[in-house]
Chains A and B, each alone.
Chain A
Amino acid sequence: QITLKESGPTLVKPTQTVTLTCTFSGFSLTTNKVAVGWIRQPPGKALEWLAVIYSDDEKNYNPSLKSRLTITKDTSKNQVVLIMTNVDPVDSATYYCAHRQRGYSPFDKWGQGTLVTVSS
């Protein structure tokens, strides 16, 4: 059974850097063709895809946020980390991590999400 859970700070100040962690079970990021992605959703708004990392360490980012995002994996801990720099109040959102397979596959398993508020 695949499960994912996000963790991180609930409140950060503008211009700070936020680090979000996705801890997962039921699969391994050492397995070929497996990936974990991050998606966010501001309150009352639509979903926005942010980044994805594959078992072979290939990474892809949303071009509009690429300069501010870094995605990494720690296979020994079954974790994927998303770092976002220079946050702004518009970055306030629920951040989800999710599992997918390489190729044309959707995000088939999602974490519960973690709400991050950016405010001074």
Chain B
Amino acid sequence: DIQLTQSPSFLSASVGDRVTITCRASQDISSYLAWYQQKPGKAPNLLINAASTLQTGVPSRFSGSGSGTEFTLTISSLQPEDFATYYCQQLNRYPLPFGPGTKVDIK
């Protein structure tokens, strides 16, 4: 089975900061990776599909890149509403694990 790791697991940042989160897969998953944002007490919300395709309605400050085994989610200028936990998920083959998550907190 494919395993996902995320780094860092916790990130403290200020409004306006550029933030980068990394997701690594244990095997080549091509570009079949999604990113989700989850706020406390809420269901996850899909941000990015196919490693770099922004979902409709997601602000352009979010971007994704990568292929193969290494992927990044970047927030170009962190906004107050972006403080949340971010998860990656591989979609290349079953099972469909999520990464362990990265919590972005206010500095």
Contact = CB atoms under 8 A, between A and B. Distances in A.
Interface of A: 37, 39, 46-49, 52, 60-63, 96, 98, 104-108, 110-113
Contact of A63 (B43, B89, B95): B95
Interface residues of B, number: 24
Nearest to A108: B46
Interface of B: 1, 32, 34, 36, 38, 43-46, 49-50, 55, 87, 89, 91-92, 94-101
B95 A60 contact: yes
A104 B43 contact: no
Contact of A46 (B1, B34, B43, B99): B99
B95 A62 contact: yes
Given A46-B87, A47-B87, A63-B1, A106 B98 contact: no
A27 B95 CA distance: 24
Contacts of A63: 1, 95
Contacts of A112: 43
Contacts of B34: 106-107
A21 to B, nearest CB: 17
Contacts of B89: 47, 49, 106-107
